[in-house]
Every structure is written in structure tokens, then in C-alpha cells.
Amino acid sequence: MNYIKGIQIVFFIIIGLLVSSLSFLMFHISPLNGLASLIDSGFGSSIALLETLKVTTPLLIMAVGLSVPFTAKFWNIGGQGQLIIGEIAATATGLALSPYLPPPLVITASMGAAFVGGAAWAMPPTIMKIKFGANEIITTLMMNFVAVYLLDYLLIGPMEGSQAKLVHAPASNPIPASDMLPKLVSTVGLSAGIIIALALAGLFYFILNYTNFGYELRVIGESRNAAKYAGIKADRRILESMAISGGIAGIAGMVLVFGTTQILIPQFFSDISTAYGYVGIPVALIASLNPLAIIASSFFLAGILNGAYIMEALYSVPIDVVITIYGTIMLFSMIGVIGDVFKALRRWIK
Amino acid sequence: MNISGIAIAVVLATFPSAIPIWLAALGETVDQASGVLDLGVEGIMLMGAIAAFVVDYFYHSALIAFIVAGLVGLAFSAVHAFISITLNGDQVVSGTALWFIGWGLSGVIYAAYFGLAITPPSVPTIGSINIPVLTSLPIVGKVLFGESPLFYISILITIALWSIMFRTQFGLNLRSVGENPLVAEVMGVSPVIYRYVSVLFGGFMAGLAGAYLTVGLTGSFYFDMTAGMGFIAVALVYFGKWNPWRVSVGAVIFGLVYALSAELESIYTSVPYQFFSMWPYIATLLIILAVGKSAHAPDALTMPYVRE
């Protein structure tokens, strides 16, 4: 049954891809050519594959983190804010400790700070939900905007880098090269972050499927009442799942700075290329929240994102097209998840 | 600038800032009252914004621009309606998907027509209706009787919605579908039809709200110009406890928050602007906190109605 469902989802994802490729028509590109070019740019060569793996890293980490509260049907849309706070905490910690500690300790401490920062940022919406029943989708999203402006302020204020000050472009000081995550492939700058990402996916596959915690989250997601009768402390589990989710989102931010960008720059809401917190949502959802399937979906969507950069350069198709594609895929994958879609349709026609 | 000057500037900017959230929130009120949560509002607003902008740019008619934007919103919400009502899909996932599609597609359409130009093209905004005599009243004259047509439309829709929802059989049926669709069906009220009508109406209103942003307020389209307004509109429905009047009050409070933070930002230039820009979002959190547990959502909200 699982495999049949998997095939059904993949089938609808392909339909979603085809439907969204119609948007290429607006740029006088035939949809299939556009799609071929997109996929070729994302997956077509070894360089493209390595670049895609680079984008996969934060995306995979983020989506694994999101899948934890999503399993309990707690919708954490605040991954982006938690990622930003993680970046801030990691960068500040890294820059502060770098002169005094050896690189492995700096990296470990920064990662710990990122986890704590991201988890802390996830707490206000979670507590508001538990105490007052506030809709978490709205509150987590609002926290994203606050984080965006906070980062923006820090980069022209307390965290402004000395070089950035000279050129009037907001950015932090760079993390010293020796404190960066080790590079696996130095030509494209693929860092060891991908190993962290894969390890997290494996760990959470185990946790969600083979532990009591994962089981309880699933029961909560199925029915709050059932959870209550089963004696599950739903509020407590939700709080834990959000601390984990926010913390992992923070780690995604840390890996982004220590693995790729080296400096912290502002991240505006309209800039899709850095919006891993948002892109992580379709990545987790189209994989039906299964961390092993998320490995595949994050690689796939990272390739599309990567391809879209090249499409923008080649044909001036804006990078926004990628969000349309994600949305459409999400919509169709969902139709695939609804097992009895054809039954539902028949009932409707009747 | 003296205090009264600031106050007048803030008050004048309040309703224009409130209108987009107001329109979208009224639509979402009906949506949710019937038991369907539409999180796609943000994306639908963006689609309405770009649709209205393109129509007005090429055909120079604000009226047609608004109508087209409303219809685009309606078409978008039809997808949400189909998935959440007919296929019994998860409303949160479907709404999020629509948000993404609208978010991306609005930018794509803009780029297809106008390229990735640095200076955005603009259209003339629709201006305001000045009601003779009353406009010249001191202080309130300009604020209450010299507003955008959409201001008066918002008030009319608020009155109409309140009357329909709380004073007609149709409204009673609508709310019963949101509270308990099974009982409603037993009483001969079709949850499917009522929910479809509500969701389509909500989409139409979100489209209008988006159109107001481009054709009514700024005259230009910017990528992701709603910046969370659609979600603030959803939050206002909670604040308004599914009552159009209270939702309207919430929208005006929000207009005030936007106007105040913009005005203070221009006065206190020594304070980093980010602290003013983040205000509407913090205000949303505070408002949700203030409503607390007293907000009683329709019982069947987000629950698909599966007929046995």
C-alpha cells in the first residue's frame, strides 16, 4: 500500500511539474523545452549535481525539522525566522569564540548556539497555542517578519562588519576560513554540512517511526481526542516537537553560514533564493513527512531551484517561477496523498 | 511637526492602510464561518494585485481592473474549494500551496509583461470620492467623507454581511454548516453548496483587496507587496470572532498601527527603521494574545465534511 501511494504521489508531482511549466509560455518558451532546460540546469552535469547538493543541504535539514511538528499537525510556518535567528546566534558565537578556541570547538559551540536560538524563537508561538489556542500558522509567520527586520537591524548596527561599513552594504564580519565546516568538494564548495543533513534525516526517520515520541506525535496528528484518551500529554509533545523543529531550523542557518556564505547578509521576504524556511514546507509535505523521502524531495526541489537561477540568467524568467512550481507540485502531491481521489471524484460526479 | 499635525497625518493614513486587510478579512470571515480556513489569502491578494495592475495598465479602467481581480481571486479560491470541499483534502496544505502559487505567479506575470526593470511602471490611482459639504467639516470631514470608494464599499459590505450572517435564514444555515455540517445536512442544508459559495466569495474579496493595493493605493506592483497582509487578515477574523463588525474594527485598528509606524518612522529618524517596520507583525501577535481563549472558532473549522 505504501509503495502504491508513493507511486501515486510521484505521478501527481509530475503532473504538477507539467502544469506549472505552462508559465514558461509567458516568456515565449515552450513548456517542455523550458522544463527540459530547467532540469538540465539542475541535474544535467556533475557540476550541476554538486551545486544542487549544496542547495540540498540547508533544505534537507530544514524540512526534516519541519516534519516533526507537522507530524502532529502543528503547522510551523516559522522555519525562516528560526533559521535567521540560528544564523545570528551561530555567527555571533563563532566570531566571538574564534580567537580563543580551536575550530572544532568553535563549530560545535556555534551549532549549539544556533539550536538554542532557533528553538527559543519557536517558543512564543508554541506557548501562545498551548495557553491560548492561538493559530500557530499566523503566529509563527509573524515571527518570521520580526526576525527579518531584527537581522536587518543587527547588520547595520551591532553586527555590522568592518568591510561592510566601508562599502555600505549590510553584512557581518566573515567567519574565519579555518572555522568553516570542512569542504568535501572544494571546487564547488560543497561542505560537510550535507553529512550533518543526511545524519539528521536518518536520525529522525528512526525517531518518528520507531520511538514512543514519534508514535505519540502521529496520534496527536490523527486526533487530539484520541491522544487525550490514550493518556498522551499532547501539549508537552507539541512543545518538544517545536523546540526540536526550531533548533534544527537554527542548525540549517548555521550550516548555511559556516558551509556556504561565510558572512551574514540581510534576507528579505521577497528574496526566494534564501527562503529555505518557506521552501522547506513543500519539501516536507510532498515527501509525506517521511525523513527518508525528504532526502529525495529536497534534492529534487533543490535541483529545480538551482535550475531556476540559470533560467533567470538565460531567459530572464524570474526566480519567482520556482515558488509557483513548488506550490503547484504541493497542490498535486496533495491530491496524490488523498488516497481515494478517484472515489471522491466519482462521488462528486454522481 | 506638532502633535496635532502628526495626529492628522496618522488619521488620514489609517483608512487607506486598513482597506486591503479589511476587504480580505471580510471575505475570510464568511469562509471560516462556513468551516473552511483559506490560508491562500496572501497568494490570492497578490494575484488580485497583479491582475488589476495589468488590466489597468493596458486598458486604463480601474473598474474593470477591480472586477477582473475579483474574478481571478474567485478562480483561485475555486481550486481551494475543490480540494478542501470536494476532495476532503487538508485545508492547511491546500491553502499554503495556493499562497505559494500566487506568491510566485504574481512575480512571474509581472516579469513577463514588464521585465525585471529597476523602476516599476505605474498607473494612476483611483483617488477618493469627496462627498460635498460633509468633506468640509473640520477634522472628521476629510477622514470620513473624502475617502477612497473602496472605503464606502467596505462599510457597505460589512453592513450587508452582518445582516446576512445574523439576520437571515441563509446566514443561519451558513453558520450551522460551519458549526456542525452533519446536523445541517440532516436539516436539509447542503454543506457543500454553502461552503463553495463562502470560499468563492472569500476569494473574490481577497482579489479586490489585492487590486486595491496596486490600483487603489500605490499605483505600482512590487514583488510580494502584501508582506504578510493576507495572514494578518486571517488573524483579524479570530480577533473579530467571526463577526463582520468586530473584524472591521480590527482592520481599522490595524490601519492605525500601519499609519502610526510609518509616521513615527519618518519623525524619529535616529531610531533604526526596522523597529517601526516590525510593528504590525508584533501587533498581530499581541492582538492574538489579547483575544486569548475567548475566541471560539466554528466547531467544524478546518474539518472536511465526509458524508457517510
Q: CB-CB: which of B97, B234, B295 is closest to A331?
A: B97
With a cut of 70, say whether residue A92 has pLDDT above it: yes
Average pLDDT value over all residues in chain B: 89
**A25 DSSP 8-state letter:** G
Q: Tell the residue number behind the cell numbers 499562497, with chain if given.
A: B99
Is A328's CB within 8 Å of B291's CB?
Answer: no
Reported ipTM:
0.91
Confidence of residue A345 (pLDDT cuts 50, 70, 90): low
Q: CB-CB: which of A128, A281, A344 is closest to B87?
A: A344
Distance from the Cα of A320 to chain B's closest Cα (Å) equals 5
Distance from the Cα of B23 to chain A's closest Cα (Å) equals 18
Question: Does A149 contact B at CB distance below 8 Å?
Answer: yes
Among residues A260, A242, A269, which one has the least CA distance to residue A54?
A260
Which residues in chain B are closer than 8 Å to A145, comparing Cβ atoms?
227-228, 278, 281
Question: Does A314 contact B at CB distance below 8 Å?
Answer: no
Which residues in chain B are closer than 8 Å to A321, comparing Cβ atoms?
104, 108
Residue ranges of domains in chain A, CATH in brackets: 2-349 (1.10.3470)
Among residues B128, B159, B148, B144, which one has the least CA distance to residue B26?
B159
Q: CB-CB: which of A26, A133, A334 is closest to B108?
A: A26
Which residues in chain A are closer than 8 Å to B107, comparing Cβ atoms?
318, 320, 323
Backbone phi, psi, residue A157, to 5°: -120, -120
Is B98's CB within 8 Å of A327's CB?
Answer: yes
**Would the pTM count as exceeding 0.95?**
no
Which residues in chain A are closer than 8 Å to B51, comparing Cβ atoms?
none
Distance CA A253, CA A171 (A): 15
The grid cell for A336 is 496524490
Least confident piece of the model among A28-37, A53-62, A272-281, A296-305: A272-281
Q: Tell the residue number behind the cell numbers 508582506, with chain if given.
A: B227
Residue ranges of domains in chain B, CATH in brackets: 3-294 (1.10.3470)
With a cut of 80, say whether residue B145 has pLDDT above it: no
> In this prediction, what percent of chain A has a pLDDT beyond 70?
94
* Mean predicted confidence (pLDDT) in A146-155: 93
Q: CB-CB: which of B104, B232, B281 is closest to A323?
A: B104
Q: What is the pLDDT of residue A270?
A: 56
> In this prediction, what percent of chain A has a pLDDT beyond 90?
66
Distance from the Cα of A127 to chain B's closest Cα (Å) equals 10
Question: Does A143 contact B at CB distance below 8 Å?
Answer: yes
Distance from the Cα of A18 to chain B's closest Cα (Å) equals 14
Residues whose CB is less than 8 angstroms from the CB of residue B48 and which lie 6 or more positions away in sequence, other chains included = B69, B70, B72, B73, B206, B207, B208, B209, B210, B211
Is A128's CB within 8 Å of B284's CB?
Answer: no
Helix (H, G, I), strand (E, B) or coil at B226: coil
**A168 DSSP 8-state letter:** T
Per residue in B92-143, pLDDT tens?
Answer: 999 999 999 999 999 999 999 988 766 778 888 887 776 666 666 666 666 6
Question: Does A9 contact B at CB distance below 8 Å?
Answer: no
With a cut of 90, say whether residue B50 has pLDDT above it: yes
Q: CB-CB: which of A142, A269, A338 is closest to B284?
A: A142
Whether the Cβ atoms of residue A150 and residue B278 lie closer than 8 Å to each other:
yes
The grid cell for B8 is 492628522
Q: Please report which residue ranges of chain B form alpha helices under DSSP H.
A: 3-33, 41-59, 62-81, 91-114, 140-145, 149-167, 169-179, 181-186, 191-211, 229-239, 244-267, 274-277, 279-291
Is B96's CB within 8 Å of A318's CB?
Answer: no
Average pLDDT value over all residues in chain A: 90
Helices and strands in chain A, H and E counts: 15, 2
With a cut of 50, say whether residue A1 has pLDDT above it: no
Distance CA A36, CA A19 (A): 14
Q: Which of B85, B274, B307 to mutate to test the interface with A (most CBs of A within 10 A)?
A: B274
Per residue in B227-271, pLDDT tens?
Answer: 899 999 999 998 898 999 999 999 999 999 999 988 888 888 888
Which residues in chain B are closer than 8 Å to A136, comparing Cβ atoms?
none
Q: What is the pLDDT of residue A6?
A: 76
**A260 DSSP 8-state letter:** I
Q: Which residues of A225-260 are buried (b: 16+ CB within 10 A; e: fewer)?
A: eebeeeebebeebbbbbbbbbbbbbbbbbbbbbbbb
Which residues in chain B are closer than 8 Å to A149, comparing Cβ atoms?
274-275, 277-278
Q: Which of A305, A331, A347 to mutate to test the interface with B (most CBs of B within 10 A)?
A: A331
Question: Does A31 contact B at CB distance below 8 Å?
Answer: no
Residue A7's identity, in one-letter code, is: I
* Mean predicted confidence (pLDDT) in A69-81: 95
Q: Which of B80, B86, B108, B271 to mutate to test the interface with A (most CBs of A within 10 A)?
A: B108
Distance CA B284, CA A337 (A): 33
Q: What is the pLDDT of residue B141?
A: 67
Q: Which of A138, A289, A338 to mutate to test the interface with B (most CBs of B within 10 A)?
A: A138
With a cut of 60, say whether residue A350 has pLDDT above it: no
* Mean predicted confidence (pLDDT) in B278-292: 88
Distance from the Cα of B133 to chain A's closest Cα (Å) equals 43
Q: What is the pLDDT of residue B143?
A: 67
Is A138's CB within 8 Å of B288's CB?
Answer: yes
Question: Does A17 contact B at CB distance below 8 Å?
Answer: no
Q: CB-CB: which of B87, B110, B293 is closest to A335?
A: B87
Task: Please count the residues of chain B.
Answer: 308
Which residues in chain A are closer than 8 Å to B104, comparing Cβ atoms?
272, 320-327
The separation between the first and the last C-alpha atoms of chain A, rounded to the nearest angstrom, is 27
Q: If you compute the radius of gyration of chain B from its CA atoms, what whole number of angstroms results?
A: 20
